[in-house]
Structure 1
């Protein structure tokens, strides 16, 4: 079974490693990036520029490695794509971890307009504390 256009769109983001040319093409100007409370720097970020600077810009320095590993993609007929997977990372303290996530994307007019994340924040916070 082939991907729906919305699933294919979101799959590109993960497969590219969030490459700037892909995010520029896929993410809407009014993107909302909603990270679950309890996750490091959890909160709601408006625009990809804000998510990049205010979320990832603060998160990345705490890790030697950090990445999202998608495992399954599901799309519906209402412009939503669900991605289940896990974060794999290694903190600066040397703690390696795998923490499950689900990403709930909303697509409008061929662009991603919102990401809502839920993740096992405890595992990530524990790795940061060593």
Structure 2
């Protein structure tokens, strides 16, 4: 079994898994230039109902101008910790945890997630279908 830090590329990583890892890295660093190169021109984020601001977001303006800006305002900190990457050909499914600190009590919580990233023919990411343990966000 190969072990590596999730941001690092492992010897056995496929090209699309590397691309998804690059996106997590760019999102964490807020590297807008890298994000724009990795994502397709009109990406779609399909966020679970029950998740804060859940819904479907089309295009960079909605994803980053609406969804992420609202999400960041709700928490003192919020981030994704991907653990497992599964290459499905034209999709990569990632299992991991969100970690966040609530604005209410500043307590740290961990919430399981599954992200399924759709990859287009030129290797750019078309979007994500996100599922999370939304009950953790209530209260």
When normalised by structure 1's length, the TM-score is 0.91
Q: Could you say what the CA RMSD is over the residues aligned between the two structures, in angstroms?
A: 1.2
What corresponds to 1:92 in structure 2?
A: 103
Greater per-residue strand proportion: 1
How far off is 1:124 after superposition? 2.1
After superposition, the C-alpha distances for 1:40-67 in whole angstroms (9 at most, x for unaligned) are 1000000122111111111111111100
Determine whether 1:119 maps to 2:132.
yes
After superposition, the C-alpha distances for 1:61-113 in whole angstroms (9 at most, x for unaligned) are 11111000000101022x10000000001011113210000000000021100
Consecutive aligned runs of 4 or more in structure 1 exceeding 4 Å deviation: none
When normalised by structure 2's length, the TM-score is 0.85
Consecutive unaligned residues of structure 1, counting only runs of 5 or more, are none
> 1:96-107 to 2 correspondence within 5 Å?
96-107=108-119
> 1:2-21 to 2 correspondence within 5 Å?
2-16=12-26, 17=28, 18-21=30-33
Determine whether 1:22 maps to 2:50.
no
Determine whether 1:61 maps to 2:73.
yes
Tell me if the contact between 1:75 and 1:82 (Cα under 8 Å) persists in the aligned partners. yes
